[in-house]
Amino acid sequence: MKTAPRFFSIFLPFALFCVGIPTFGWGNLGHAEISLNAARKIPDSMPAFLRTPAAIARIAYLGPEPDRWKGMAEYALNNAQYPDHEIDLERIQGLGELPKGRYEFYKLLYDKRAATTTDPDYYLPEKVGLLPYAAEEVFERLRAAFRDYRNLKAANQPADPVEQDIIFYAGWLGHYAADGSQPLHTTVNYNGWVEANPQGFTTDQTIHRRFESDFINQNIKASDFESLIGPPHELADTFKDFQQYLWASHALVPKVYELDKAKGFDGAGSPEALKFTEERLAAGSRMLLDLWYTAWLQSAQQ
């Protein structure tokens, strides 16, 4: 992993924070690039403090934040939150509409587990993953903070403390939006193909790292996909829309393995692999920007 990511040159203090951070998820660089590009697209209709260089730099820095909670020294924290980064969509096929609360989801899974006679652990929540719940919960934190900001402004009260909360929640949310755009965060074939494999996809347990970290660190910078991100759109139902986003990402799992089989992620990469990866990074930025924008608009509703 490079210790001085290229796009951080405009934010030297931020770059210094990034030295030595371990690589997880999209990788430190990929997560930060997704958040950076989203933050650069925040519209004028949202609060101006979010568009300051300091806020943009902090949001980008916070993109990898939940991966920094995976250290073995923080056993309880890691144990509680590691399922939040992914969801194996194969495990929930046929379960119908997902309940909006994570504990209702646990019950649904445990009911399914009790009814199966093959592999009960297949339906354990920590095996299935909880990514849409993590995203929705942080989204609601952000919306509540925006609501407090509006109320403080309306009362002519200082809003600095809640502004810092908003920046943190916006950055934290960036991690889960980014995880959802990585197809390998949506599948049991997370790090090597484990299902029936007539295509002869790799079973090597390095593909995850090679795709999302090594390849991006060597070949892609934020400016390469910034043009793929348009203005934000309000989401009709964030929980359902995020699930649709995950299923769209999941549909691309075979493509990741096809590109890998064709050596597309080796070295400088193939043009097809570069284009594919830039599009997935941009998808993460677009979803993140839409979530921020929707939280802001919905916060006007008391």
Task: Give CA–CA dist 265/97, Å, rounded.
Answer: 36
In the block, tokens 């991006």 appear at 216
Q: Which fold, 6-88+129-298?
A: P1 Nuclease (1.10.575)
Tens digits of residue pLDDT in 232-257: 999 999 999 999 999 999 999 999 99
| Residue 2, pLDDT above cutoff 80 | no
Distance, CA of 78 to CA of 68 (rounded, Å): 9
* pTM, entire model: 0.91
What are the tens digits of pLDDT across the range 9-37? 334 334 433 333 333 457 899 999 999 99
Calpha distance 286→164 (Å, rounded): 23
**Spatial contact of 207 and 260, defined as CB atoms under 8 Å apart:** yes
Q: Which single residue is written with the structure tokens 């399922």? A: 83
Domain boundaries, the chain: 6-88+129-298
